Structure 1
């Protein structure tokens, strides 16, 4: 007999009101069978949800709920639930611009969803694209949303963003810092933590035994110390420690060839040393399909890797593929979290 489908509660948000998020969510929730493996609750402003459907040329029937706590109790989850909240008025939004009101609204909705996760009402969160400038104008105190999530959820351990493309996931030892500072934060401990985290997260998303590759830091992998010693002094000892702990990991590999190995299927995860080392490659490989996973948090949080696309906002041109992929990862990780709770 086929095992019953585990249906995690997934909270979905509309993203920045001035961008393509509302349109993307309308396209996502109009996909056939979208509620088959998840108990979906859309959280956002009613007028913005209506506008997103109009832009996408879709009409999605939802079931109103009064709180996130009501979602799991629904007898019928064949329709997405909709929790209407008032965070921003239509007249406050000027499409295709970063605005404080939009950023504040995004923060309010995300915090509400995280409150639901802390209360046990939400198993995963999938958010439509946001704009960091708008969020900082609207009150974000951190360098990015991941650090806000970590503080809000009380994370004390290691956390980092993953960027994914199909079966390939990437992690990075440093993220949204100036490139000149990347060497100063490179350490054996951070490499070990990033590798362990992406390995466990891939397992939670359904890959039982992912193979991991670690990137070098310097050109040509340091050329044996001629072009930098980070590989010898930091990265190689980290790889040896990881192998000793039982994680299937290889490297360090020069950054200009490591993605060729992954493209050919040898590795399902790459740990890079700084932001653009992995971002450039993975976005070239599939910009319209990539997903960002917020790694190391107590609740899975995913989003399409592209941004708010202000240049095409309101034009009905948004590609839903990355958002659909983000939802699928949230579903798999949410189901795993629910199963082990």
Structure 2
């Protein structure tokens, strides 16, 4: 039997607890063998928010990941990760308390995965300002998990390179840089970073597809630089990286004009697009529908997926949040851990 899958609670001031509760209520077969790493009181509040229109849910407190196997369908197993909240933090408000509760859940689950106690992590959304308020030096899940994996392996952070992939049924994109200012992201488009991204994408998708992926590389500048008229990054940096990847057997092509390459991939010409920075790659995937998008961290010695949306503070506690993307993230985690 597969080891249990840990679903981290996310920021408890947002929609994380309620979409988790909705998923357990609506998809008992999908959530079988899963448990929540988080805070019991916050999860109870989340379950109450969706209780009116869904089958009733019981909640069981467990002490270890292995205990999840004994929890029956229709019951949410919750492992208290970190100190329990006396009262849940206010909904829809950035706070250090919420950031700390959310971080404790991810840290516990990451360490359990690195010890081999869980098969995968599915992470409900964090709020970056709340993490900062709690004193965490990470802008998001990807950087936090990278640091934990590097510490577990006893290697410097640079020796644990990771990349973000956003995927749905129509399109996959892997990013050279993620959470940084656009001015800094331009500086991150280096030969080594582009080549490393191609290698990580190739290795990760080869295991998923059962063959080497067809990788399209997006240019950085409009029209991929138009032969140097709009910038030389393509000529001086991206093309040499693509050629180095090809020399290593990677099926990479480009750089292509970024305003059309995603359409070509969606039509089936390519399996994945390597994008140069966060918004260049994520806007096309999210435009196709956040309810089907899944965020996967590539390069980690563990499986981690996440829904393609944020904490949605504006609707937190209303019971209106859609759990479709979380369900897709769990399905992806099962396939990758399989």
TM-score of the pair, normalised by structure 1: 0.88
Q: Tell me if 1:219 matches 2:222.
A: yes
Aligned equivalents of 2:250 and 2:28: distance in 1?
36
Q: Is contact 2:126–2:140 with CA below 8 Å preserved after alignment?
A: no
Q: Is contact 2:131–2:139 with CA below 8 Å preserved after alignment?
A: no
Which residue in 2 is equivalent to 1:93? 89
* Inter-CA distance 124–223: structure 2 relative to 1 (3 Å threshold): same
Which residue in 1 is equivalent to 2:26? 31
Q: Is contact 1:173–1:274 with CA below 8 Å preserved after alignment?
A: yes
SS at match of 2:274: strand
Which moves more between the two structures, 314-323 or 141-150? 141-150
* Inter-CA distance 142–202: structure 2 relative to 1 (3 Å threshold): same
- CA shift at 1:90, angstroms? 5.7
Q: Tell me if 1:148 matches 2:151.
A: no
- CA shift at 1:244, angstroms? 2.2
Aligned equivalents of 1:50 and 1:206: distance in 2?
39
Q: Is contact 1:128–1:323 with CA below 8 Å preserved after alignment?
A: yes
CA RMSD of aligned residues (A): 2.2
- CA shift at 1:209, angstroms? 3.9
Q: Is contact 1:103–1:134 with CA below 8 Å preserved after alignment?
A: yes
SS at match of 2:288: helix
Task: Give CA deviations for 1:279-328 in whole Å, capped at 9, x if unaligned.
Answer: 22211121232121122111111111210001111111111111111111
* Inter-CA distance 142–267: structure 2 relative to 1 (3 Å threshold): same
Q: How does 1:1-341 map to 2 (within 5 A)?
A: 7-35=2-30, 39-57=33-51, 58=54, 59-61=56-58, 64-71=61-68, 74=69, 81-85=77-81, 87-89=83-85, 91-154=87-150, 156-206=159-209, 208-335=211-338
SS at match of 2:297: strand
Aligned equivalents of 2:34 and 2:250: distance in 1?
34
Which moves more between the two structures, 201-210 or 277-286? 201-210
Aligned equivalents of 2:140 and 2:126: distance in 1?
11
- CA shift at 1:157, angstroms? 2.8
* Inter-CA distance 234–27: structure 2 relative to 1 (3 Å threshold): same
TM-score of the pair, normalised by structure 2: 0.89
SS at match of 1:303: strand
- CA shift at 1:34, angstroms? 3.1
- CA shift at 1:206, angstroms? 4.7
Which moves more between the two structures, 52-61 or 12-21? 52-61
Aligned equivalents of 1:283 and 1:44: distance in 2?
27
Q: Is contact 1:88–1:102 with CA below 8 Å preserved after alignment?
A: no
- CA shift at 1:215, angstroms? 0.3
Which residue in 2 is equivalent to 1:3? none
Aligned equivalents of 1:134 and 1:269: distance in 2?
32
* Inter-CA distance 20–194: structure 2 relative to 1 (3 Å threshold): same
Q: Is contact 1:8–1:334 with CA below 8 Å preserved after alignment?
A: no
Task: Give CA deviations for 1:47-71 in whole Å, capped at 9, x if unaligned.
Answer: 2222222212243345543212444
Which consecutive residues of structure 1, in runs of 5 or more, have no partner in the other structure? Answer: 1-5, 336-341
Q: Is contact 2:122–2:305 with CA below 8 Å preserved after alignment?
A: yes
Q: Is contact 2:2–2:119 with CA below 8 Å preserved after alignment?
A: no
Q: Is contact 1:175–1:274 with CA below 8 Å preserved after alignment?
A: yes
